[in-house]
Structures are given as structure tokens and as C-alpha cells.
Structure 1
Amino acid sequence: MAQEVRGVIAPGKNEPVRIETIVVPDPGPGEAVVKVQACGVCHTDLHYKQGGISDDFPFLLGHEAAGVVESVGAGVTDVAPGDFVILNWRAVCGSCRACRRGRPWYCFATHNAKQKMTLASTGQELSPALGIGAFAEKTLVAAGQCTKVDPAAAPAVAGLLGCGVMAGIGAAINTGNVGRGDSVAVIGCGGVGDAAIAGSRLAGAEKIIAVDIDDRKLTTAKSIGATHTVNSKDTDPVEAIRELTGGFGADVVIEAVGRPETYKQAFYARDLAGTVVLVGVPTPEMKLELPLLDVFGRGGALKSSWYGDCLPDRDFPMLINLYLQGRLDLEAFVTETIGLDDVEKAFERMHGGDVLRSVVTL
């Protein structure tokens, strides 16, 4: 039987979010209903609210979540009611050309639940953020969006792997192939950038240079694992990175802002044959111009990182185990825990750079 629960809705472009009663249908074939225990407030949710992702309002916001499977539909075998899971927004198909070539992290046919959650008051269909919609007491997802992990992990930290923390760690380890002894520069020290710093530290990087225009963020970056910091409001970051790397530039530069000017900084701050990883998300109107001779002459690799090039079934359990072993400090990413009614204020604090992550707990 369908259930009615509370959820956070973005009704229209730049309108304040509000709590509404939503209808969650019983799971159909290949689907699962998850009782949400915690969900991080991510910049992507703010982009949805601002109309920067699409205009398919109203949105059911929230996607960086962990919870317990309540029920599953026909044909679901990988998870069962009672499983503690992290939700992901790239449930792989297993049959597209990327999956068939053994590269499921590039899956070109990821999927979500086929049924729609709706507003109880009007019956209007909701667009769940990244196919999840977890600022709600319960949500409906494709079963492949549920990754079972050790229930000893606190939901408020486990859910962060569902988006920002995984994107940053994966940008360093999976996309950038950071290795022992490497030098790494991370431009932009929000949640994703700080996760890239944590990932670089896990990989054994010798030098990790954090770059931002906010000294508060640089202080946090240092506590997470940066060995050096650069305030690019006061200092040319390219020259500073070169100076810190013997005049050469960093082996890997991770751009976690998503702007042309910071991408150019990343491009010129890398060593010859070094790697640039773009994990910051640009907006549609942004354009990049680089001398083609410089692209050719500097060699190396220019990569984009989709969701940290992660495979949830592989990476989420591994990172949760590292957290439980005390080797990955996920608590460092949680600035505050809040309720569903506090999401609008959390967006304001995010915009002001006052938090690394606000996490809704239910």
C-alpha cells in the first residue's frame, strides 16, 4: 500500500523550499523503498532549487543519503528489507557498451525507479533530485541505487559517500590515479575538494596543496590532510604551486570549482606530463579557451571525473571499512546535523561558506 510521508520540495525556480506530504508507492519490479536515516545538504540540491539542473519542478530534493531498506519489488535479490544502505545516483545497467567492456563506472544507461512519487495534495508527479529524493522520511529508488554497507557506520557520515565525498575521493584515487610520493594540488576546498585531499592522503601523496580564497576553508583543508595551503585571493596559485613543487608543478591537479579561470590555473599548475582532473561542475554557458599548442606541448592527461569514476558496490563498502578502521575521518565533513525543517537555512549557510556539510537526520 502506498505511504504518505513528509518531504522537502522545491516548488519553483529560486522559491523557498517547503515541507509537503508526498506519496511513496509500493516498490515495483526492480525497485526498493528506503527509510531515510540521514541525508547531506549538497550544492547539487541548491542547483536544483535555482533551476540550474532542469526546469522539471517541483523537485523532491536530497540525494546524499543512507537508510534502511523497508521493502523491495519483484526480482530484487541484491538487497533485502532490513539492509543498511547508501543510496547512489548511478545504478548501472550491466548491458550498455561501457558495462560490456568491463567499465561499469562509465555506464551510459544508468537508471532510477520507474514509478513516480507524487504530492499528496494534488497528485502532481515529483522529480527526485538525481533520481533519489531523500529529504524525505522514505523514498522510492531503483534497487541498484542501494549499496549495502556495514551497519556499524553512523548514517550521518555514511550518506556522504553517496555524492560529494565519493566524488572527491574518487577524483583523486580513481580518476587522477594519485600514487605514493606524488604531489597533488586541489583547487577549491569545499566538500568535494576536501574529499579529494582526503583521497590523496589515503593514496600516499607526499605533498598536498590546498587552494582557496577563504582562509576558513584552508584551515579545514589542513586538518583533513593538506600539507600546504595557498590563498589564491592574495597569491598567484600557479606560481605558488610551482614554488612548492621545485619549480615544476604538481603531478596531479584537481579542479573542484568548475570555472574556466580555475581550470586554467589547474592546467598551468601541473607538471609536464601531469594530470588535470575536473570534478567541479560547470554551468552550461561556461566556455574554455586554451592555446592548442600548450595542450599538445605539456602532454599528460586532461580528465573529467564523473561521480569520482566510482563503482558503488566496490567503493562504498571499502571506504566504510576504512572509516571504521579509523583511516578515513568522515566525521570531519559534518559541520552540523539538522531537521527537515532547516533545509532552507542550510542552503543559506552553504552559500555563505559557513559549513562544510549540513546533514539532515531523521
Structure 2
Amino acid sequence: MPHEVHAVVAAEHGAPVELRTIVVPDPGPGDVLVAVRACGVCHTDLHYRDGAIGDAFPFLLGHEAAGVIEEVGPGVTGLAPGDFVVLAWRAPCGACRSCRRGRPWYCFDSVNAGRPMTLRDGTSRTASGGGTPLTPALGIGAFAEKTLVAAGQAVKVDPHARPEAAGLIGCGVMAGYGAAVHTGAVGSGDTVAVIGCGGVGSAAIAGASLAGARRVIAVDIDDRKLDGATRFGATHTVNSRGTDPVEAVRGLTGGHGADVVIDAVGRPETWTQGFFMRDLAGTLVQVGVPDPDMRVELPLIDLFSRGGALKSSWYGDCLPSRDFPVLIDRYLGGRLDLDGFVTETIALDEVESAFDKMRDGRVLRSVVVI
């Protein structure tokens, strides 16, 4: 029978989020019901709240989550009630042109749950027993006591991992780590510069360090974030508020620039800085998400003459079923400091205040604990 649970909902464009009662249906074919244990507050949730990702309100927010399988739907294999899982917003379909070409980390038709979660709002009822259908953030919707996802979105990991830390690999940590390790292909002896030292940028620093980078340069306008970046493996820091970051990075790399630059901010000015911060034939990876109206202009001769690669990193080019267990093992082995990303733990009704702290740069991650 359907489950009535508390959840955080963005009801309309720009309005404060609300704690509402929602209806979560039993899992259908290929779906699993997950009791959420913890869920990080990510910038993407704020983008949904503010209407920057679409207008399919109301949104059920939350997507950086870890929890325990409660029920599995017909046809589900490899998962069972009691399994500890991290939720992923990419569940390769196996049938799109990218999956057929052996590149499931680019899947263009990721699988989501087949049944909608709904508001208990007194409107006309759906087959699941609820009212207005909800749009779950990134197909997950985990600021809730329970959520319904496709089985491919639930990745089984070692249950000894702390849920508050484990859930963060579901989005921000994986995006940053993968931007360095997968998209940027950082290798032993490389020099790396990371612009923006929030959660994603700090994860990129950690990934570059684990990949064997000789020098990892953290760039930000906030000394607090730069101090934190050293915890994740930064060897040098540059405060770009009063310093030209391009010249500073060149000065730290023998005048050449970095082999790999990762823009974890996603603004025209940071992308342009990253472009010129590279060594000749270097790689620029954009993982920060820009607003739709942002533009970059460069002389075409600069694109040609500097060579190298300009890449966008979607979800760190990850394959969750492959990468999540590896990152959890590294965390449990003391090689990846996931606990360092958890600034505070909060309750479901504190998400709106967590957005304020995130805007002000006071946290790497606030994590909702259920």
C-alpha cells in the first residue's frame, strides 16, 4: 500500500521550500523503495527551487542520498531489502546510442522510477493514492523519509560507511572527483589547478591528489575555502580576489600553466581564466553549471593556437555501479576524506536555512539526517 511520509517540496518558482506530506507508491516493475538515511543539500536543489532547471513544479528536492532498501519491485535482481545503497541520478538504460557504443557513462536516456510520487493535497487522486504528481530532483527526490527510484539508481555499497558521508558521492563528490580522474584524466606528475573550492571543487582536488598529481593549486576568493582545500590535497592556494589567478598559477608552474584546469564555478570569467591558465596543449574541464544566458567570447586564433582540449564533465563521466563502491572503499580505507565535506547535519525542516548558508559560502555541505 502507498506510504505517506514527510518531504521537502518546492511548490512554486522562487518560493521558500515547504515540509509537506507526500505519497510514495509501492515499487512497480524495476523499481525499489528506499528508506532515506541522509541527503546532502546541493546547489542543484537550489537551482530547482529557483526555476533554473525547469518549471515542472512542484519539485520534490534532494538527490545526494544514502539509504536502505525497504522493498523491491517485480523483476529486480541484485538488490534486496536491507541493502545499504547510494542513489545515483544516472542509471544507464542499456539501449540508447551511447550505451550501445559501450559508453554508458554518457547514457542519454537514464532510467527513473515508473510510478509518480505525489502530494497528499486533497486534489483529484491518482492510482497511487495521492494528488498532484511531483517532479523528483534529478529523478530521485530524497529530502524525504522514503523515496522511489529505479533499481539501477540504487548502488549497493559497504554498509560500514557513514550515511551522512556516503550519500555525498551520489552527486557533488562524484562530479568533482570524476572531473579530475575521468574527464581530465589527471595522471602521475601532472600539475592541476582547480577554480572554486566548494564541495565539487574540493572533490576535484581530492581526485587529482589521489590520481598522483605533483602539484594541485586551489583557486578561490574565500580564504576559508582555501584553508579547507589543503585538507583534501591542495599543495598551493591562490586567492583570486586580489591576485591575477592566471599569472599566479603560471608562477607556480615555471611560467607554463597547469596541465589540467578544472572550473568548478561555471561562470564566463572563471572559464576564461581556466582557458589561459592551461599550459600549451593542456586540458580545461568545466564541471561548474552555468546559467543558461551566460556567454563566452574568445578570438578563434586563441582556440587554435593554444591546442589541447576543452571538455565538459557530466556527473564526472562516472558509471555509478563501477565508481560508487570504489569511492566508498577508499573512504573506509582512509584515502578519501568524505567526512571532511560534512559541515553540519540538519533536519528536514532546515533545508531552506541551509540554502542561505550555501549561498554565503559558510558550508561545504549541510546534510539532512533522517
Equivalent in the alignment of 1:265: 273
Q: Secondary structure at the match of 1:68?
A: strand
Q: CA deviation at 1:111?
A: 1.8
CA RMSD of aligned residues (A): 0.7
Equivalent in the alignment of 2:305: 297
Q: Deviations over 1:70-99 (max 9, x none)?
A: 111111102111110000001100121111
Letter of the 1:340 counterpart: L
Q: Distance in 2 between matches of 1:260 and 1:30?
A: 41
Q: Distance in 2 between matches of 1:25 and 1:112?
A: 14
- Among 232, 253, 257, which residue is 1:245 paired with? 253
Q: CA deviation at 1:102?
A: 1.1
Equivalent in the alignment of 1:223: 231
Pairing 1:153–2:161 present: yes
Q: Deviations over 1:151-185 (max 9, x none)?
A: 01010000000000000000000000001110000
Equivalent in the alignment of 1:120: 120
Q: How does 1:114-263 map to 2 (within 5 A)?
A: 114-122=114-122, 123-263=131-271
Q: How does 1:277-296 map to 2 (within 5 A)?
A: 277-296=285-304
In the alignment, structure 1 segments of 5+ residues that lack a partner are none
Q: Distance in 2 between matches of 1:198 and 1:173?
A: 10
Q: Deviations over 1:278-297 (max 9, x none)?
A: 00001110111111111111
Q: Secondary structure at the match of 2:327?
A: helix
Q: Distance in 1 between matches of 2:95 and 2:137?
A: 25
Letter of the 2:13 counterpart: K
Q: Distance in 1 between matches of 2:49 and 2:310?
A: 31
Q: CA deviation at 1:149?
A: 0.3
Equivalent in the alignment of 1:6: 6
Letter of the 2:147 counterpart: T
Equivalent in the alignment of 1:29: 29
- Among 344, 348, 360, which residue is 1:336 paired with? 344
Q: Secondary structure at the match of 2:132?
A: coil
Q: Secondary structure at the match of 1:16?
A: coil
Q: Secondary structure at the match of 1:320?
A: helix
Equivalent in the alignment of 2:90: 90
Equivalent in the alignment of 1:73: 73
Letter of the 2:104 counterpart: P
Equivalent in the alignment of 1:101: 101
Equivalent in the alignment of 1:352: 360
Q: Distance in 1 between matches of 2:333 and 2:89?
A: 26
Task: Give the TM-score of the pair, scaled to structure 2.
Answer: 0.97
Q: Distance in 1 between matches of 2:142 and 2:31?
A: 15
Q: Distance in 2 between matches of 1:111 and 1:289?
A: 36
Letter of the 2:205 counterpart: I
In the alignment, structure 2 segments of 5+ residues that lack a partner are 123-130
Equivalent in the alignment of 1:319: 327
Letter of the 1:138 counterpart: K
Equivalent in the alignment of 2:64: 64
Equivalent in the alignment of 2:127: none
Letter of the 1:107 counterpart: C
Q: Distance in 1 between matches of 2:341 and 2:57?
A: 30
Letter of the 2:353 counterpart: K
Structure 1 segments, 4+ long, off by >6 Å, are none
Q: Distance in 2 between matches of 1:223 and 1:149?
A: 25
Q: Secondary structure at the match of 1:315?
A: helix
Q: Deviations over 1:273-318 (max 9, x none)?
A: 1000000001110111111111111111111000000000100000
Q: Distance in 1 between matches of 2:166 and 2:218?
A: 24
Q: Secondary structure at the match of 1:194?
A: helix
Letter of the 2:28 counterpart: G
Q: Distance in 2 between matches of 1:151 and 1:99?
A: 29
